[in-house]
A and B are shown apart, each in its own frame.
Chain A
Amino acid sequence: RKEVEQDPGPFNVPEGATVAFNCTYSNSASQSFFWYRQDCRKEPKLLMSVYSSGNEDGRFTAQLNRASQYISLLIRDSKLSDSATYLCVVTPFVRGKLQFGAGTQVVVTP
C-alpha cells in the first residue's frame, strides 16, 4: 500500500463551481501535511499547509481528519486558472522527508 494515496481524477469542474477531493495517508504518526500545486510540465509549488483545526486561504480550504487519516482540499468558485494537478504531501515524522502523493488532476471548464 502506498504511503500517500490520491484519486488521480480528472475532476472536471464547471467554472464557478466547488470541487473537493481527499488524500489518505497510511502512517498514523504523520506530523505535517501540505497541498502542492503542479501545472502541466512545471515544477510543484506549495499551495498551503494543512493544520489540525483546518485552514482557509481565499477560495481554498484544507482540512485534516486524523482519526480517518486523510486530508482534504476544497476549492470554491473555481477559476480556469485552478486547472492543475494537486499533490498531497505528508511528513511522516518531525524533520522527516516529505512524501508526495501521485496527484489529483482538476480541470476547470468554461
Chain B
Amino acid sequence: NAGVTQTPKFQVLKTGQSMTLQCAQDMNHNSMYWYRQDPGMGLRLIYYSASEGTTDKGEVPNGYNVSRLNKREFSLRLESAAPSQTSVYFCASITRGSTLTGELFFGEGSRLTVL
C-alpha cells in the first residue's frame, strides 16, 4: 500500500526559483492538506482541499499556491522561493468525516532548502 506519496523528498533551490511539490494518495480520501514543519513551531497548515475541486487557505498560505488536480492529487507550488520557505513539507489526507477519528495519513515529507 503506497498511502500518501510525496515528491521530491529533497530539494535545494535558490532564492527566486519556482518549484512544485507533488502529492498523491491512493486511499480514495476526500480531503487533502499541505503542512509545513519548522523547529519549535509544530505543523502549520498551508492550504487544504476539503474535496475535489475546492481549495482553501490555511494558517500560512502566503507565497504558495495549490492545485487539486483530481481526487488523488494535490500539488503545492512555490512561485518565487524565499529562504523563509526552508522547511519540511508534509502532505496528508483524510476521508470525509474522519476529523472525528483524527486519522490523518501523512506522506514521508519533502525537505526543502532555499539558499
| Chain A residues within 8 Å of B, Cβ to Cβ | 4, 8, 31-32, 34, 41-46, 49, 87, 89, 91, 94-98, 100-103
Q: B1 an interface residue at 8 Å Cβ cutoff?
A: no
Contact A102 B99 (CB under 8 A): no
User: Residues of B contacting A87 with CB < 8 Å?
Assistant: 42-43
For chain B, the bracket of interface size reads 20 to 34
CB distance from B94 to the nearest CB of A (A): 8
Whole-angstrom distance between the alpha carbons of A32 and B35 in the complex? 20
**Which chain B residue lies CB-closest to A47?**
B102
User: Residues of A contacting B107 with CB < 8 Å?
Assistant: 43
Q: B106 an interface residue at 8 Å Cβ cutoff?
A: yes
Whole-angstrom distance between the alpha carbons of A41 and B42 in the complex? 13
CB distance from A96 to the nearest CB of B (A): 6
User: Residues of A contacting B35 with CB < 8 Å?
Assistant: 100
**Which chain B residue lies CB-closest to A46?**
B103
CB distance from B4 to the nearest CB of A (A): 8
CB distance from A32 to the nearest CB of B (A): 6
Contact B42 A101 (CB under 8 A): yes
CB distance from A55 to the nearest CB of B (A): 13
Across the interface, A103 reaches (CB within 8 A) one of B33, B42, B99, B104, namely B42
Across the interface, B99 reaches (CB within 8 A) one of A42, A46, A95, A101, namely A95
Contact B102 A97 (CB under 8 A): no
Whole-angstrom distance between the alpha carbons of A4 and B44 in the complex? 12
Whole-angstrom distance between the alpha carbons of A31 and B97 in the complex? 13
Contact B100 A31 (CB under 8 A): yes
Whole-angstrom distance between the alpha carbons of A33 and B103 in the complex? 11
CB distance from A44 to the nearest CB of B (A): 6
Give the 9 A-B CB pairs with smallest separation, nearest first. Answer: A102-B42, A43-B106, A34-B102, A100-B43, A100-B42, A46-B103, A91-B99, A95-B99, A32-B100
